[in-house]
Amino acid sequence: MKLTIAFDQEKENTVSPEEQAIIENYIEKYPEDNEYENYITNTISEPEMYYLTTQSQNIINWYPFEPTGTILEIGGNLGERTGFLCKNAKQVVTLEPNRKKAEAMAKRHKTEENLEIIVGQVSQISVNQKFDTILMIGILERIQEIGGEITDLATLLTHLKSYLTEKGKILLAVDNKFGLRFFAGNPENNKNKKFESLIGYANEPQKIETFTQKRLSKIIEQLGLMANFYYPLPDYRMPNVIFSQKQLPQFNSVDKYVPYPKENSSILMNEVDVFREILKTNEEMFPFFANSFFIEMSKEPTEIQYRYISFNNLRKENYRLITKIADTYVEKQPVDQNALGHYETIQNNLSLLRKNEIKTVDYVSEGKVQSTYQKQEDLLNNVLTKALEEKRTEEFHQIIEQYQKQIQKNSIKIENYEETIFANYSIPIENPEIIQNLHFLPQGLWDMTFKNCFYLEGELYFFDQEWVEENIPAEYILYRSILYTISLRRYINIEDLFEKYGLTPYRTLFEELDNKLQEKIRDQKIWEFYSQNKFIDIDATLQELGNMRIRDEAKQKAMENLEQENQTLRQEKDMLAQENEQLKQRENDRFSTKVKRKMNQILGGTHGENN
């Protein structure tokens, strides 16, 4: 590792309090070990999540870098992605204008022999070589600091283009000005202020560039470059999933990510629910509201290799995988060496499927776990949902019975509680006889759910089988399938399904088992980070309470006005009824008078004639 300090950067720069804490509590405290995630205790903060875990690497750890290639990283920050780059390229040159950050990065990656760190700004540094990849992740938030005399994206790209090989790529990650995340109440990453991006930083004294896909496309086109757009969710900083212009999300697939609240957040809505409604209306609206962009730029058109990427962010390190979907195949890979053991387990589970004569679309090719790409509508959960939607109830139950028969293959009866998975996980059973009717699988692949199965030409093909347990009931697998296929609930009561397939007596038992298995897999600190909004904006909360009071008062006033209007209407009704009675009385009197007059005329005339 080589650290070069430019002549104009001898002065030590400052860092934020959060970054200083990362440097002191981890990078300097554990100089011989950069596996910092192992040292995070209790709760985990957003800076710790970003700087110390593998999640910030998700934006690039799926990308097909050339192992013999060269990479120029602009804005290395604290080196949260630099180590990954060093393991996937022949040479990495990182440019970081902040000396303190650069020195922390050097300590963090001191063993990387193919790394050179240059302290300086883009406009003042001359690198005498060209690179296969130029990487810029989130640097536009620091462009005044990083660029020097270069203060806008177009000029920056023009300058860096001269360092690119003919077949090289520029990779840029940037927030979308109109990201739905910002409408939901998350502050933007530049000034950490809510809604500022949406109004173009109109309240800031200094101009700040904002970007939409349309504006980015125009800048890139004017520079004579080609671009492929990707859409990381919840954002480019810590993606759960990455869609692409080749595969935009649909309303029933956009929920495969978990938003995270930032400090100073005032969450006003569930952005996933809003995305779902947007996509139901028009899928082409998604790029306008996408939270951020990852853009691949090149001098010549480049085919998108992976159209969709997903990550297991909530898992412990040794279970984290990347799933990459190409046009004709799906591929899984471990996030890093910590998950190699789990990756081997998946390959062993494939052998177990074949041994049990269960069909699968998965296979191993050159040591990689891959699958034949299938259409999403052929997923068993989608097939079953569609059958209910089209009122093909009999067919729905026939398919479930076929599935039930398949997962019960090679099952056995166990009467001794101590031999079951329930004993293994210390789950007590009040009535031991309850297990006698269950079908136990000696080596049970317990994730053979509807979502991990294709229904092709009337046959079941399973995939993505990561987990195996001894002596687990097949009924538990069916329970999980029904429970986690949320789309079924629009058309059928799942309690009725549990009753029909004999699962009701086991619900509490299976729920406890499910919790135990999930606890084994998930990282509790990360789970709590994503599942809890720890940041409450007091001012915004008070304002919202004030708004609620105003709305309640307005509602009460409206009710009072309505009651007054009703009372007035009742009075008017009574008056009308009274007038109506008076009119009827006058009409009756008038009629009676006419009758009497007529009768008098008739009687009077007759009397005269008789005389």
- Say if residue 150's pLDDT is above 50: yes
AA letter at 310: S
Contact 470, 442 (CB under 8 A): yes
Average pLDDT over residues 194-198: 90
Predicted pLDDT of residue 543? 47
What DSSP line would sit under 493-539, residue for residue? -HHHHHHHTT-GGGHHHHHHHHHHHHHHHB-HHHHHHHH------HH
Q: Are residues 108 and 236 in the same domain?
A: yes
Residue with tokens 């860096």: 160
Which residue would you say has higher pLDDT here, 326 or 547?
326
Residue 555 lies in a domain: no
Binned at pLDDT 50, 70 and 90, residue 31 comes out as confident
Kindly list the distances between the CA atom of residue 291 and the CA atoms of 184, 266, 314, 380, 561, in Å, as whole numbers in the listed order.
11, 17, 20, 31, 44
Contact 63, 84 (CB under 8 A): no
Residue 328 lies in a domain: no
Average pLDDT over residues 210-229: 96
Backbone φ and ψ for 414, nearest 5 degrees, come out as: -130, 125
Among candidate residues 267, 282, 307, the one where a domain is terminated: 307
Q: Are residues 47 and 172 in the same domain?
A: yes
Average pLDDT over residues 248-258: 87
Kindly list the distances between the CA atom of residue 333 and the CA atoms of 12, 58, 233, in Å, as whole numbers in the listed order.
40, 12, 20
- Say if residue 563's pLDDT is above 70: yes
Q: Are residues 385 and 293 in the same domain?
A: no
**CATH code assigned at 93:** 3.40.50.150
Work out the burial of residue 441: count CB atoms within 10 Å of its CB; fewer than 13 is exposed, 13-18 middle, 19 or more buried.
buried
Residue 464 lies in a domain: yes
Binned at pLDDT 50, 70 and 90, residue 537 comes out as very low
* Cα separation, 409 vs 474, whole angstroms: 9
- Say if residue 88's pLDDT is above 60: yes
Q: Are residues 298 and 411 in the same domain?
A: no
Segment 478-483 long-range contacts (CB within 8 Å, at least 24 positions apart): 478/400, 478/403, 478/404, 478/407, 478/503, 479/503, 479/506, 479/507, 479/510, 480/446, 480/447, 480/449, 480/510, 480/514, 481/381, 481/403, 481/449, 481/450, 481/451
Residue 151 lies in a domain: yes
Residue 402 lies in a domain: yes
- Say if residue 538's pLDDT is above 70: no
Binned at pLDDT 50, 70 and 90, residue 534 comes out as very low
Helices (H), 303-392: 340-355, 380-389
Binned at pLDDT 50, 70 and 90, residue 540 comes out as very low
Contact 6, 118 (CB under 8 A): yes
Q: Identify which of 191, 172, 183 has the alpha carbon closest to the alpha carbon of residue 59.
A: 172
Q: Are residues 382 and 514 in the same domain?
A: yes
Among candidate residues 531, 561, 577, the one where a domain is terminated: 531
- Per-residue pLDDT reduced to its tens digit, 47-62: 999 999 999 999 999 9
Binned at pLDDT 50, 70 and 90, residue 582 comes out as confident
Q: Are residues 96 and 222 in the same domain?
A: yes
pLDDT > 70 in the chain, percent: 92
Predicted pLDDT of residue 202? 87
Residue 286 lies in a domain: yes
Number of domains in the chain: 2
Q: Identify which of 424, 484, 428, 495 has the alpha carbon closest to the alpha carbon of residue 453.
A: 484
Residue 360 lies in a domain: no
* Domain interval for residue 495: 376-531
Contact 345, 328 (CB under 8 A): no
Binned at pLDDT 50, 70 and 90, residue 261 comes out as confident
Binned at pLDDT 50, 70 and 90, residue 587 comes out as confident
* Cα separation, 57 vs 238, whole angstroms: 8
Among candidate residues 508, 531, 554, the one where a domain is terminated: 531
Give the Cα-Cα-Cα angle 84, 87, 88 (nearest 5 degrees): 90
AA letter at 456: L
* Cα separation, 194 vs 187, whole angstroms: 4
- Say if residue 539's pLDDT is above 70: no
Helical axes 393-407 vs 380-389, angle rounded to 10°: 160
Q: Are residues 276 and 408 in the same domain?
A: no
pLDDT > 90 in the chain, percent: 72
Residue 322 lies in a domain: no
Average pLDDT over residues 18-41: 91
Q: Are residues 157 and 271 in the same domain?
A: yes
- Per-residue pLDDT reduced to its tens digit, 453-496: 999 999 999 999 999 999 999 999 999 999 999 889 989 999 99
- Say if residue 274's pLDDT is above 90: yes
Q: Are residues 188 and 73 in the same domain?
A: yes
Give the pair of three-digit tokens for residue 171. Answer: 């990779």
Q: Are residues 381 and 294 in the same domain?
A: no
The pLDDT mean for the chain works out to: 90
Give the Cα-Cα-Cα angle 47, 50, 51 (nearest 5 degrees): 80
Looking at the DSSP bridge assignments, the partners of residue 554 are none
Predicted pLDDT of residue 487? 87
Q: Identify which of 186, 139, 175 has the alpha carbon closest to the alpha carbon of residue 160.
A: 139
